[in-house]
Structure 1
């Protein structure tokens, strides 16, 4: 994980010239791995729930990630439009999709990495920039999957590479959560990594996170926000600190619409 000091540059350098860092909201558009979870889903935890532990108070988080969405279905349901209605100039839009884009049997969610996936991601970039906000990409966090020799293996096909390439083309920072999480799972090993997922012998969930896993993935994301200079050193915190899992709480589910 990247934890070295860095300073933001360009139009989004908060507090340029030594002044105080102004408040700017970090919006998350993503899927279930990032989403807010409620009491009926505990202990499943989205990494977006833990991200505020690593960000300063001048960077509040507005988590719009929703279970089961792809870059396409999030758009088609009008969720990006609603998000952009709340975003303000200077805010950040962090986009993480890919888990559900690969579901070829579901035309409401499926995208092809080098065509429709990139086409959808362009809409997030264009929308954010039109609103005066800064788009940021995050490659999909890896699932817990190991081969017979104990090596952590990637599960997202060409989607991370397609996002990286589009980020380079459009000058959008890319937080490489896919590569860093794969490295973390490898370091932990197959059995210890289970504690980071919502894994039980009855429900062998190798995709969604436990409180511990959400905290560690959020730490990776915050470190990448610093490394890529999206945020300045004064806007992140606790990157080396142990975060108690008791800090995670699950509110009551919202009323049915």
Structure 2
């Protein structure tokens, strides 16, 4: 039975790793082949995804989440770059998660960045229309399998005015997710608000150390440098994952020692040879 489940998970998420350590499901099992007590699945986009060695130091918050969990909790990060709530489901990624999820497992659902691309019929949704309709598929699917869904509003981008004042960039999508969480009595992690407050406290310059901002020659993977206001380097992914774990009251196995450690090193993350959700 455990072997069947491990094979299913590999097929389901295209080799998605169990957390930040690049381990397949078989590596997350306990001695004797017993499955871990609880598993956290992540359905999301590029801000949560797990990245490969060729992408270092780029990382997603789902890749960093295991840093703040006890070892007996497995994480299957199925977050896919470029995905919206619609395209993730339409590509069959949600169905594959639902085929693998068990009673008592947790499903973190975080979309919005690519739902906003309304000029793209494959991805765009309307906040109080198709966005909520697609999100309900995740909630209903998890609950039908006696798993526990949690909605996570999209992490905020690095956006500042010329005067250094942060501003919101996701329009009505976070509000639509908040309303859905309330109407369906689904736990919500308001990562939009939490990250917006963090970026505002840090300011325009300090946030560059969290987002994928690198000077030319600083990283062999980005020889010409990069200035990315959406995606994170390891430090930023770790701190966003900290927000998720701190405020996810229903997340099992939170490691409160790690959560109270303000200096989690970047090398706590491991990058697999290929992007697991895409391989």
TM-score (norm 1): 0.87
Match of 2:172 in 1: 158
Runs (4 or more) in structure 1 with deviation over 4 Å come to 254-257
Instruction: Answer yes or no: is the 8 Å Cα contact 1:58–1:235 preserved in 2.
Output: no
Note the C-alpha offset of 1:119: 0.2
Instruction: Answer yes or no: is the 8 Å Cα contact 2:168–2:196 preserved in 1.
Output: yes
Note the C-alpha offset of 1:254: 6.1
After superposition, the C-alpha distances for 1:52-75 in whole angstroms (9 at most, x for unaligned) are 010122322110100000000000
Instruction: Give the secondary structure class of the aligned counterpart of 2:158.
Output: coil
Match of 1:96 in 2: 110
Match of 1:239 in 2: 259
Instruction: Answer yes or no: is the 8 Å Cα contact 1:145–1:155 preserved in 2.
Output: yes
Match of 2:189 in 1: 175
How many residues get paired?
A: 232
Q: Matched residues in 2 for 1:109 and 1:245: separation?
A: 32
Which 5+ residue runs of structure 2 have no aligned equivalent? 1-35, 216-224
- Cα distance, 1:254–1:183 mapped onto 2, change above 3 Å: closer
Instruction: Answer yes or no: is the 8 Å Cα contact 2:245–2:254 preserved in 1.
Output: no
Match of 1:7 in 2: none
Which 5+ residue runs of structure 1 have no aligned equivalent? 1-21
Match of 2:198 in 1: 184
Matches within 5 A, 1:42-191: 42-191=56-205
After superposition, the C-alpha distances for 1:10-65 in whole angstroms (9 at most, x for unaligned) are xxxxxxxxxxxx82111000000000101121111011111101012232211010
My pick for the range that moved more, 160-169 or 240-249, is: 240-249
After superposition, the C-alpha distances for 1:135-177 in whole angstroms (9 at most, x for unaligned) are 1000000000101221111110000000000000001001011
Match of 1:32 in 2: 46
Instruction: Give the secondary structure class of the aligned counterpart of 1:216.
Output: helix
TM-score (norm 2): 0.80
Aligned: 1:225 with 2:248: yes
Instruction: Give the secondary structure class of the aligned counterpart of 1:51.
Output: helix
Q: Matched residues in 1 for 2:73 and 2:206: separation?
A: 32
Q: Matched residues in 1 for 2:78 and 2:275: separation?
A: 14
Match of 1:4 in 2: none
Instruction: Answer yes or no: is the 8 Å Cα contact 2:84–2:113 preserved in 1.
Output: yes
Instruction: Give the secondary structure class of the aligned counterpart of 1:189.
Output: helix
Q: Matched residues in 2 for 1:104 and 1:172: separation?
A: 26
Q: Matched residues in 2 for 1:243 and 1:156: separation?
A: 29
After superposition, the C-alpha distances for 1:200-252 in whole angstroms (9 at most, x for unaligned) are 354210000010000000000000113xxx136x6333111021111122111
